[in-house]
Amino acid sequence: MRLYSAALSLFSRKVEIALAEKGLAFDRVMVPFTQSAGYSPKHPDVLALNPKGQVPVLVDGDVQLYDSTVILEYLEDAYPTPALYPATPQARAQCRQWELFADEILLAPVRALMHRTGPRPADPQRWLDLEAAAEIAKGQIAQHLAHLDQQLASKAYFCGTFSVADIALFTTVLYSQRLGGPSLKPHRALHAWYTKLQSRTAFAPVIVEIVAADRALSVPVAGAYS
Ligand SMILES: N[C@@H](CCC(=O)N[C@@H](CS)C(=O)NCC(=O)O)C(=O)O
């Protein structure tokens, strides 16, 4: 199996964690990324394998897939043990919904913090405008974190047992933390869940690599990882 990934690609890291949870060996191709040029120039294999030109891309024998959600569903079908989705249709749908919440709803305001790791714009007003938008986004993230915290009041994982929902939500919450988003500490259940996942065998090395990539590639962010 080969995975095209990138050092600071949230969606690729989701797939890396799922592969590790399933105990699947894979060759990893890290595509180039810099804060100033992003993913440009794009890796030629990624351009050939994904019409969107994005990572992650998974190649498993004859199977060539892009999009982290599609890849995770393929991994579950092709390599069902250990399961990363619950058993019943209702619970599986809820789990997929949580993944979408992480990737699209929670990530939307987290994106508004992403300028912080990149080079400062030449125009100081542009920076002030971005930071004003970031402050609004922080309020939205805080509301989402409170909602997630409530969900965990009566269960250890978002879908009862550990699942794709936890992988997706963890990576997006991690990104909120590396970008100086609101602290998790006021949210006791969420903070405990986050701490527990950080020490899982499949998560810990990925987190170490993301922190190292930030040190190597990103502008330091005040309050990051605090
Ligand atoms: N929905 C896709 C999103 C993939 C995505 O946005 N990948 C980013 C890196 S995290 C990328 O390759 N961006 C480069 C680009 O869009 O040109 C997924 O879940 O895999």
Instruction: Compute the distance between CA of residue 10 and CA of residue 17 in angstroms, rounded to an integer.
Output: 11
CB count within 10 Å of CB 38 equals 11
Instruction: Compute the distance between CA of residue 29 and CA of residue 50 in angstroms, rounded to an integer.
Output: 15
Pairing of strands 2-5, 57-60: antiparallel
pTM check: above 0.75: yes
Tell whether the torsion through CA atoms of 184, 100, 104 and 40 is positive or negative. Answer: positive
What's the confidence (pLDDT) of residue 226?
80
Ligand 1 within 6 A of CB of 176: no
Closest CA to 31 of 9, 63, 14, 48: 9
Mutate to test the pocket of ligand 1, among 33, 46, 50, 54 (most ligand atoms within 8 A of CB): 54
Instruction: Compute the distance between CA of residue 16 and CA of residue 127 in angstroms, rounded to an integer.
Output: 33
Mean pLDDT by 10 residues, the chain (226 residues): 98 98 98 97 98 98 98 98 97 98 98 97 97 98 98 96 98 98 97 98 98 98 90
Cβ distance 56 to 9 under 8 Å? yes
CA of 58 to the centre of ligand 1 (A): 13
Give the residue, by CA position, lying nearest to ligand 1 atom 12: 54
Atom of ligand 1 nearest to the CA of 67: 20
Cβ distance 53 to 41 under 8 Å? no
What's the confidence (pLDDT) of residue 111?
98
Ligand 1 within 6 A of CB of 67: yes
Q: DSSP readout, the chain?
A: -EEEE-TT-HHHHHHHHHHHHTT---EEEEPP-BTTTBTPSPPHHHHHH-TT--S-EEEETTEEEESHHHHHHHHHHHS-SS-SS-SSHHHHHHHHHHHHIIIIIIHHHHHTTGGGGSPPPSSHHHHHHHHHHHHHHHHHHHHHHHHHHHHTTS-SBTBBBS-HHHHHHHHHHHHHHHTT---STT-HHHHHHHHHHHTSTTTHHHHHHHHHHHHHHS---TTTT-
CB count within 10 Å of CB 110 equals 24
Instruction: Compute the distance between CA of residue 177 and CA of residue 119 in angstroms, rounded to an integer.
Output: 19
Cβ distance 17 to 203 under 8 Å? yes
